[in-house]
Chains A and B, each alone.
Chain A
């Protein structure tokens, strides 16, 4: 990592942590806590993005006091690697590719989070997501299905929006700033 990567990692972590404030103001039922990870992955690649994701996990736990989130750090690694790959194949060049790529990430991230939630916490991790799981359980849906459906469903919406936002950020990035990130250079 270079000094620039380090400064970007710090920025990515802060963006991840601040997004909660914005979605709360808009009363949106999503987290968007991986926008910084996806942004850094698209700008400088997977390694700094993985550091963003893992640092976000630890700092969020330290700020909120909720250290039960630590095992979900692995999801941030998945997001970082996927987002860097998506950026490399040009998924952020238009809406029509960014949004489906985000939806696919939601499927993968939700599919990875569900077994962690199920095995380590019995599918109960607090927050609105678990409320949906509880409602499905009361309706008679088996636990495994309830956890997977809720986790994948919420993550697909969340990551589609996150990819859409990162696309918007990259598209509106002033040219003098974009020029400093070789990953944003158009394909030859």
Chain B
């Protein structure tokens, strides 16, 4: 399952920016390391995040669904056809340096997936909105984040209805590639033109509520999540660690 998983772990109780900062730290660290062993440490850090959040199972399962095909392709692209010398791994022989590279790249993808899936599982969207409001995030940013997430399922539903309606009118989805490309028009046009026709209505609705993008009064958060000094220190520590990793790499 991808998304928020209710819980009472330290990451669930933390300020929403803390799990996101930890995930961003893993993301940046994953690109800073270059050997299989440091890459394994980054994966361990991501798994540690999952454990701390009590959502390891929720994070690892979808992460593996994405990462396993990547691992398989990495072994083919880098392992099978890499430079000599070759080493025997079970019944197959793989390039030693190619295998190392595949391990680094596979660990990178796995760590990023586990870290962000953990953050998604631990950060409740309403708390994130409250935290952003408390920090004075602009209306435009909040609107895009929240409103787009509500629009996408609606548009998906509409696309499914258009698909059914056009099939009732005789539209064939199969056939040659050219026939399938031709079918794009009858499906995409009603969807996009319908959505464009609603733009003005939405602009009037926002305008009527006094929404403006040019400054305006700062919104007040009713329940701003607490942000203790320890968590702020952790976020700074993540930043320092990432900068150090890149400095070491570039040195």
A-B pair count, CB < 8 Å, reads: 184
Docked pose: A8 CA to B195 CA in angstroms: 9
> Which one of B173, B196, B207 lies within 8 Å of A173 (CB-CB)?
B196
Q: Are A122 and B101 in contact (CB under 8 A)?
A: yes
> In chain B between 24 and 54, which residues have their CB closer than 8 angstroms to a CB of chain A?
27, 31
Docked pose: A150 CA to B35 CA in angstroms: 27
Tell me which residues across on chain B come within 8 A of A146, comparing CB atoms: 77
Tell me which residues across on chain A come within 8 A of B163, comparing CB atoms: 22, 25
Docked pose: A126 CA to B108 CA in angstroms: 14
Interface majority SS (helix, strand, loop, mixed), chain B: helix
Tell me which residues across on chain B come within 8 A of A140, comparing CB atoms: 81
Q: Are B112 and A126 in contact (CB under 8 A)?
A: no
User: Number of residues in A with C-beta < 8 Å to the partner?
Assistant: 63
> In chain B between 104 and 155, which residues have their CB closer than 8 angstroms to a CB of chain A?
105, 108-109, 112-113, 115-117, 120, 140, 143-145, 147-149, 151-152, 155
Once A168-B189, A177-B196 are accepted as A-B contacts, the answer to whether A122 and B117 lie under 8 Å apart by CB is no
Once A22-B159, A172-B189 are accepted as A-B contacts, the answer to whether A138 and B113 lie under 8 Å apart by CB is no
B182 to chain A, nearest CB (A): 10
Once A22-B187, A26-B173 are accepted as A-B contacts, the answer to whether A15 and B73 lie under 8 Å apart by CB is no
Q: Are A21 and B156 in contact (CB under 8 A)?
A: yes
Flag whether B15 is at the interface (Cβ < 8 A): no
Docked pose: A96 CA to B49 CA in angstroms: 53
Q: Are B116 and A28 in contact (CB under 8 A)?
A: no
> Which one of B108, B189, B212 lies within 8 Å of A3 (CB-CB)?
B212
A14 to chain B, nearest CB (A): 5
Tell me which residues across on chain B come within 8 A of A1, comparing CB atoms: 140, 213
